[in-house]
Amino acid sequence: MSLFTHSRFVLAVALVAALGVVALPSVSAAQNDAEVTFTKDVAPILQRSCQECHRTDSIAPMSLLTYEEARPWARSIKDKVITRAMPPWYIDKNIGVQEFKYDYSLTDDEISTIAAWVDNGAPQGNLADMPPARQFRDIAEWKIGEPDWVVEIPEPFVVAAAAPNWWGDLVSDSGLTEDRWVKAVETKPSIEGFPVVHHAVTSMSDPESDDDDYNFLNEYALGKNGDIFPDGTGRMIKAGSQIKFNMHYAANGVETTDRTRVGITFYPRGVVPERELISAHVGDDEDLDIPAGESNVRHDGFYRLKENAHITAFQAHLHNLGKRQCLGAVLPDNTKQILSCADWDFGWHIVYNYEDDVAPLLPKGTTLHVTSWHDNSDANRWNDDPTNWAGFGQRSNDEMSFAWVSYYEIDDETFEKKVEARKGQTDNDE
Chain residues binding ligand HEC by CB under 6 A are 49-50, 52-54, 59-61, 73, 76-77, 80-81, 86-88, 104, 106, 222-223, 347
In the bound state with ligand HEC, the residue whose beta carbon lies nearer, of 252 and 340, is 252
Q: In the bound complex, what is the minimum distance in angstroms from residue 186's beta carbon to ligand HEC? A: 17
In the bound state with ligand HEC, the residue whose beta carbon lies nearer, of 61 and 168, is 61
Q: In the bound complex, what is the minimum distance in angstroms from residue 125's beta carbon to ligand HEC? A: 17
Q: Of 113, 99, 98, give the one whose Cα is nearest residue 41.
A: 113
Amino acid at 88: P
Q: In the bound complex, what is the minimum distance in angstroms from residue 42's beta carbon to ligand HEC? A: 9
Amino acid at 396: S
User: Three-state DSSP class for 165?
Assistant: coil
> How many Å is the Cα radius of gyration of the chain?
24
In the bound state with ligand HEC, the residue whose beta carbon lies nearer, of 222 and 264, is 222
Q: In the bound complex, what is the minimum distance in angstroms from residue 304's beta carbon to ligand HEC? A: 35
In the bound state with ligand HEC, the residue whose beta carbon lies nearer, of 41 and 52, is 52
Q: CA 152, 314, 194: angle at the middle one, nearest 5?
A: 30
First to last CA, the chain: 16
Please, are residues 167 and 252 in contact by the beta-carbon 8 Å criterion? no
In the bound state with ligand HEC, the residue whose beta carbon lies nearer, of 77 and 313, is 77
How many angstroms separate the CA atoms of 64 and 54, rounded?
Answer: 5
In the bound state with ligand HEC, the residue whose beta carbon lies nearer, of 81 and 351, is 81
How many angstroms separate the CA atoms of 419 and 425, rounded?
Answer: 10
Residue 165 φ then ψ, to 5°: -55, 145
Q: In the bound complex, what is the minimum distance in angstroms from residue 25's beta carbon to ligand HEC? A: 21
Q: Of 41, 373, 88, give the one whose Cα is nearest residue 248.
A: 88
Q: In the bound complex, what is the minimum distance in angstroms from residue 199's beta carbon to ligand HEC? A: 8
